[in-house]
Amino acid sequence: MFDTMTATKILGSICGALLFFVVLGFVGTNLYSTPSGVLAIAIEVDDPDAAVAVVEEEEEVSFEDLLASADLGRGERAWASCRACHSLEAGVNGVGPYMHGVVGREVAAVDGFNYSSALESLDGVWDVDALNAFLLRPSDYAPGNRMSYAGMPRDQQRADLILFLKSLTD
């Protein structure tokens, strides 16, 4: 039956649980707040004027400058557009040839990859400028090539990506 002892135990556990949350709340508040109760996490806000200035200047920035300020992490994220077809591992071809060491590599030089005549008839190496022009619009750079990729229109994104490709050497 429902005796006083059971009722006391139940009441006891409820009080215990409530007390636990009160203590937890107290500790939490003191950990994350300053004495005045203001959140003690500083959030940096970029100077909005500076951001506007960058946007206005973008047209005149040379690709070398973009490359100098390129970011490896962003480049790795931009690589998401390529990884469906290209592997980063030397010797492993996918739909396209592997990209390991591509910067400075001769055009259409991966052994065992069946290049289109459009790429094979190109001379030279994949230096920064060649990659920049190719990735902007592959079909303009090498008409008739088999890379089904429309292109990467954003200059900074290509610079980031090329920095990432440059890092793929050992």
Q: Which of 71, 76, 77, 85 binds ligand HEC (CB under 6 A)?
A: 85
Q: Which of 61, 115, 136, 156 binds ligand HEC (CB under 6 A)?
A: 115
Nearer to ligand HEC, 61 or 115 (CB): 115
Q: Is 147 exposed, middle or buried (0-12, 13-18, 19+ CB in 10 A)?
A: buried
Which residues touch 79 (CB under 8 Å, ≥6 apart)? 161, 164
- 152 lines the binding site for ligand HEC (CB under 6 A): yes
Q: Which of 86, 128, 157, 163 binds ligand HEC (CB under 6 A)?
A: 86
Q: Which of 66, 67, 70, 82 binds ligand HEC (CB under 6 A)?
A: 82
The minimum distance between CB 117 and ligand HEC, in angstroms, equals: 8
- Alpha carbon distance 128, 159 (integer Å): 9
- Alpha carbon distance 154, 80 (integer Å): 15
Query: Where does this chain touch ligand HEC (CB under 6 A) — which range of 25-33, 34-42, 43-51, 111-119?
Result: 111-119
- Alpha carbon distance 133, 164 (integer Å): 16
Contact 144, 117 (CB under 8 A): yes
Contact 105, 98 (CB under 8 A): no
- Alpha carbon distance 130, 71 (integer Å): 20
Contact 111, 90 (CB under 8 A): no
Binding mask 119-138 for ligand HEC (x = CB under 6 A): x------x----x---x---
Q: Which of 8, 30, 33, 148 binds ligand HEC (CB under 6 A)?
A: 148
Nearer to ligand HEC, 119 or 159 (CB): 119
Binding site for ligand HEC (CB under 6 A): 81-82, 84-86, 95-97, 102, 107-110, 115-116, 118-119, 126, 131, 135, 145-149, 152, 161
